[in-house]
Structure 1
C-alpha cells in the first residue's frame, strides 16, 4: 500500500530519489515536449473506466509513434493500491504502448499521492522544449474517473490532539484542487474523464485551473495527440493574424495560405485558435504571480540598456528559433539578470534576451526604428502616444506635443515612458476617458518628436 500524501518526509524523499532515477535515464529520453501521464488504477476504475483509459492512452502513444518528428518525451505514473512509475521518460513508444498490460485495478483512489509523485518529473528545470515561438514546460495528462469517495484524508483533531483517519470527499477535492493549482501554475494539466459517471466538475477544475490546460473527452484523445502539431501550425501563422480580435475564419485563411492545405479539420483549427488564445501560457514568464511581475518585469534598472518602449528586432547572435515570429518587438523592462532585457514581440509573446552593451549591433537583439503597426486592436505595446482630450497630469509628459511609447497594456489602461524618462499609467477607454491618444508613426511631425534612445555607456543605474 502507498503512504498517505500527508507523510511529508516520505514523499519528499520519494520525489528526490525518483528525480535522481529520471536523470540517470536521460540518454534514453526524447528531445521534444515532455508529457507525464498520471493514470488511475484504483478499484473504482474496474471495467469500463479502465478500458476507456487504456484506449485513450494507447491511441495517444500510437499517434506519437506515427509522428516521430516531434519526439515526445513520455513518462507514466499509476496510482491506486500502488503509486509508482510504470515508465520513466522515454521516446520508445512501442515499449510505452504496453505499460498497462497486466495492470489490475485495486486499492483506494490515491489521487493526491499520484499528483504528488508527478512533481518529481515536472519540477526538473530541463523539461523545457520549444515548438516554434512557444516554450513548453512538461505537460501532465491525468486520466481518471475523479472518484474521491474512498480517498483517505488525515485531519488533526482539535480536541483529541491526534491524527484521525477520515474519508471526506469534499475535503479530498479541496486538497486535490489546491495541489493541482500549484502544479498547474507552471505546467498545463490535461484531464481525460473516463468511466460511467466521472466527476467532470473536479476534473474540469483541475484542468482549467492550470495555465494552458483543458478537459479532453476520452473519444477525443487521438485529437489531443495532435496538440503539438497544431501548436507548430499556430506558431507558423501567429505573425500573420492580428494579436487580438481574430476569428476562426482568420485562422483558417492563414493556415491555408501558409501550408497550402485546404482539407483542414475543424478540430485542428479549434486547437490552433485555443493555443493562440492562451499564448501567454507558453511564453517564458519566469514570475509566478501578478505582484512579482509588477515588481520585476517592467522595471528600468540599468541606464546602459535600452529603456522600456525601445523597438527591437532579432540580432546577429539570435538563437531562439521563432520566438519573435520574425517580427519586431518592444523592450518592456530590464530583467534581474545583468545586461538582459524583457521584450514583448508584436505577437504578444514575452521573453528575456541579453543585450550586448559593448557591441550593440552584435547581440541577441538590436534596436530598430520599425513602428508598431496596429491591425484590429486600438492600441498595443510599442505604439507612440501623446496627451489626449482628458489629460490632467500637468507636464508629466514633458509638455504639450511630446511623444511617449506604450510599454504595457492592461485592459483600458496603458503604461507609457516619455522622452524625459517619466513613466506612468494612463486611461485609454477607462470610464470612457482617454488621457492619451495613438499617434501616426508615419506623420512627419511625429517623427521629429519621437522618443530617442540615450544610453549612459558603462554606467549602471
Structure 2
C-alpha cells in the first residue's frame, strides 16, 4: 500500500455574493436611497452624499496600483486601521501601530518557520477610506505602510468595510486546500470604536451626528457579511479595540453580529497562526476522506500530530471539531484510487507538470528530504509512473526493487521523493526494456511521429511485448517493444562558480569604498550566484532591520523568500530551499563577478 497523505494544492477564487445593506434594516429599500453595485454585491446607501462617497471609494480601490507589489498564491488578510482624529486620544494610535506591527512580524515568523505564505493588505480610514497597501507577501512594504499613516478626519466605518471588501476584488479570494476545504480571506479591524457617518465634510470634527442610524447601518452590514447570510464573504471579521476610550461594547456587538469575536490588542499575535491551522484542517480532511469508517478523535489527532508536531492544545481542539464536522458532510464522496500498474490506465496531470507542482511521468526519483517510509524503496531509486488524479495529487512510484507505492510531493505535505540524475536504469546484455529506461525511436518505428525526442518507459505489458513511453515532448505512446531502443543518457557539464566561506552574520568592520556586503544563492548543482545589485541592496537593508526576518526577491518570474535565520532562500510556489551566503567582497571582485553573471544570463 502507499501513503494515505496528499500534498495540498491551492486554487483561489473570488466570491460572487449578492449583498443588500442599508443604513437600517427597515428603510433599506426606500425610494430616497441609492444603490451602489460593485464586487458582485449591492449596497443601499442613505442619500446622495453617502452614495457618492461610496462610489468614489470603490473607484479609488479599483484603480491600478502605481507600484505593484509581489503577491503569493495563498491566504489573504486585510488590516483595517482607524486613522481618524479620535485615535489621538487615550493612547489609541500608539497601541494600534504596536499591534499592527506585532501582527505583521508574527505572520512573518510563521512564514519563516512553516512556509505557509500569507498576503497582507492595509486599508485606512480617517476622513476617507483608502487602500494604502494592496495585498502582498512583501512584509517590509506592509510595515512601511503602517509606519507612514497620517491621522486626521472622521471615522466612516461603513465606507471602510466596503473598501476592505474591494481590496480582495481581483487580488485575493477564497483558497481551496486540495479542492477539499475552502479557506476564506479575513479582515482584522483595529479601532477605538467611535463610529461616524459618511458626510461631505470628512475632515470636520470626529463625532457622530446621528448615532442611532449610523450604528444601525453598520450593524446591518455586519449581519449581511456573516457566514450564515453570505457564506462566500470574507470571514472571520475580527475587531481589535485600542485606547483607554475604546467603545468595547459596540465592537463586541459588531463581532457577535458577524459570528466572529473580539481580540485584545495585546493578544493579536494569537491570530498569526490562523491560516496554518486552517491549512492543517484541509490536509487532515484530504488524508481521511477516503476512509470507509468514521475516524475517531485518536485517529484524527494522530494525523494532525504527524503533520504539525508543535500544534497547540487549543488549535488541536479547533482542528478536531472542524474535521469531524466536515467529514460528516454528505458531499464528501470517496474517490476511486487509480491502478499504477495497469497498462491502459495512465494519468498525467499535465497542468500540474507545467506549473512545476508535479514530477512528469518517467522522472527518476529517490528518497526525499521528508521521507518517512522505512525501506519501501528497497534502498534504491524508482520511476514516477502515475498521478492519482488532479484533485488529490499523489505521486505513484515504481521502485527498481519491483515494489510500488504512492507518496506526497509538494511544498504543503513535504517532498517525500526527490528527482535524481544519479540512478539511471541500464539495459543488461540481451535483457528486456524496463520501467525507467530512457529510449528512442528505433529503425522499426512505424508510427507517423518521427521526431527524435528521447522518452522513458512507464509501462510494460504482460510478456513485455508492448511498452508505453512518455516522450520528452509530453506525448505518451503505446508501441511494440522492438520499435524503440535503449539510449544512454549523457550528463550535462557543470559550471563551477566561486564560493566564499565567510561567517553569515559577521559584521566586523563597516562597508567602505573598497568592500561590499554581497549576497549569493546556490543553484541545484551547488554553484553560487550573486543576486542583482538592486536585490543585494534590498537584502542588506532588510537584514540590518531584522537579522531573524525575511526578504522577498523575484528571479525569472518567480518569488523567493530569503530566510535570514535559516540562511536559505525558499521558492514561494514550491517550498524548495537553497543555501544563501552573505560575504564581504572587495568591490572590484564584486563588480567582476556581477559582470560575469550578467554575461552568462544573456547567453542563456
TM-score normalised by structure 2 residue count: 0.40
Q: How big is the shift at 1:28?
A: 2.0
2:134 matches 1:88: yes
Q: Which structure 2 residues correspond to residues 37-52 of structure 1 after superposition, within 5 A?
A: 37-46=79-88, 47-52=90-95
| C-alpha distance 152-98 of structure 1, shift in aligned 2 (>3 A) | same
Residue among 258, 263, 279 paired with 1:216: 263
Cα distance in 2, alignment partners of residues 311 and 119 from structure 1: 35
| C-alpha distance 94-362 of structure 1, shift in aligned 2 (>3 A) | closer
2:277 matches 1:235: no
Cα distance in 2, alignment partners of residues 59 and 210 from structure 1: 25
2:61 matches 1:18: yes
Aligned residue in 1 for 2:51: 8
Cα distance in 2, alignment partners of residues 177 and 278 from structure 1: 29
The answer to whether the Cα contact below 8 Å between 2:157 and 2:197 also exists between their aligned partners in 1 is no
Cα distance in 1, alignment partners of residues 181 and 137 from structure 2: 21
The answer to whether the Cα contact below 8 Å between 2:172 and 2:185 also exists between their aligned partners in 1 is no
Residue among 57, 62, 73 paired with 1:31: 73
Cα distance in 2, alignment partners of residues 194 and 114 from structure 1: 17
| C-alpha distance 30-146 of structure 1, shift in aligned 2 (>3 A) | same
Q: How big is the shift at 1:102?
A: 4.3
Residue among 159, 184, 208 paired with 1:137: 184
Q: How big is the shift at 1:173?
A: 1.6
In angstroms, what is the RMSD of aligned CA positions?
Answer: 4.3
Residue among 145, 167, 175 paired with 2:217: 175
2:241 matches 1:193: yes
Aligned residue in 2 for 1:304: none
Q: How big is the shift at 1:311?
A: 6.4
Q: How big is the shift at 1:252?
A: 4.8
Cα distance in 1, alignment partners of residues 250 and 279 from structure 2: 30
Unaligned runs of 5+ in 1: 155-164, 284-297, 299-307, 322-360, 366-461
Q: How big is the shift at 1:222?
A: 0.9
Q: How big is the shift at 1:209?
A: 3.6
Aligned residue in 1 for 2:145: 99
| C-alpha distance 251-88 of structure 1, shift in aligned 2 (>3 A) | same
Aligned residue in 1 for 2:429: none
- Max radius of gyration: which structure? 2
Moved over 4 A (4+): 24-27, 239-242, 245-254, 273-280, 308-321, 361-365
Q: How big is the shift at 1:224?
A: 0.3
Aligned residue in 1 for 2:563: none
Q: How big is the shift at 1:221?
A: 1.2
Cα distance in 2, alignment partners of residues 34 and 207 from structure 1: 19
Unaligned runs of 5+ in 2: 1-46, 200-206, 339-346, 353-387, 393-604
Q: How big is the shift at 1:8?
A: 1.5
The answer to whether the Cα contact below 8 Å between 1:144 and 1:193 also exists between their aligned partners in 2 is yes
The answer to whether the Cα contact below 8 Å between 1:129 and 1:137 also exists between their aligned partners in 2 is yes
2:324 matches 1:259: no
Q: Which structure 2 residues correspond to residues 244-255 of structure 1 after superposition, within 5 A?
A: 252-255=301-304
| C-alpha distance 122-179 of structure 1, shift in aligned 2 (>3 A) | farther
Aligned residue in 2 for 1:437: none
Q: How big is the shift at 1:38?
A: 0.7
Q: How big is the shift at 1:39?
A: 0.6
Aligned residue in 1 for 2:162: 116
Cα distance in 1, alignment partners of residues 184 and 277 from structure 2: 16
Cα distance in 2, alignment partners of residues 320 and 179 from structure 1: 40
Cα distance in 2, alignment partners of residues 267 and 309 from structure 1: 26
| C-alpha distance 84-100 of structure 1, shift in aligned 2 (>3 A) | same
| C-alpha distance 193-32 of structure 1, shift in aligned 2 (>3 A) | same
| C-alpha distance 64-310 of structure 1, shift in aligned 2 (>3 A) | closer
| C-alpha distance 122-105 of structure 1, shift in aligned 2 (>3 A) | same
Deviation digits for residues 350-396 of structure 1, max 9, x if unmatched? xxxxxxxxxxx99979xxxxxxxxxxxxxxxxxxxxxxxxxxxxxxx
The answer to whether the Cα contact below 8 Å between 1:248 and 1:269 also exists between their aligned partners in 2 is no
The answer to whether the Cα contact below 8 Å between 1:59 and 1:221 also exists between their aligned partners in 2 is yes
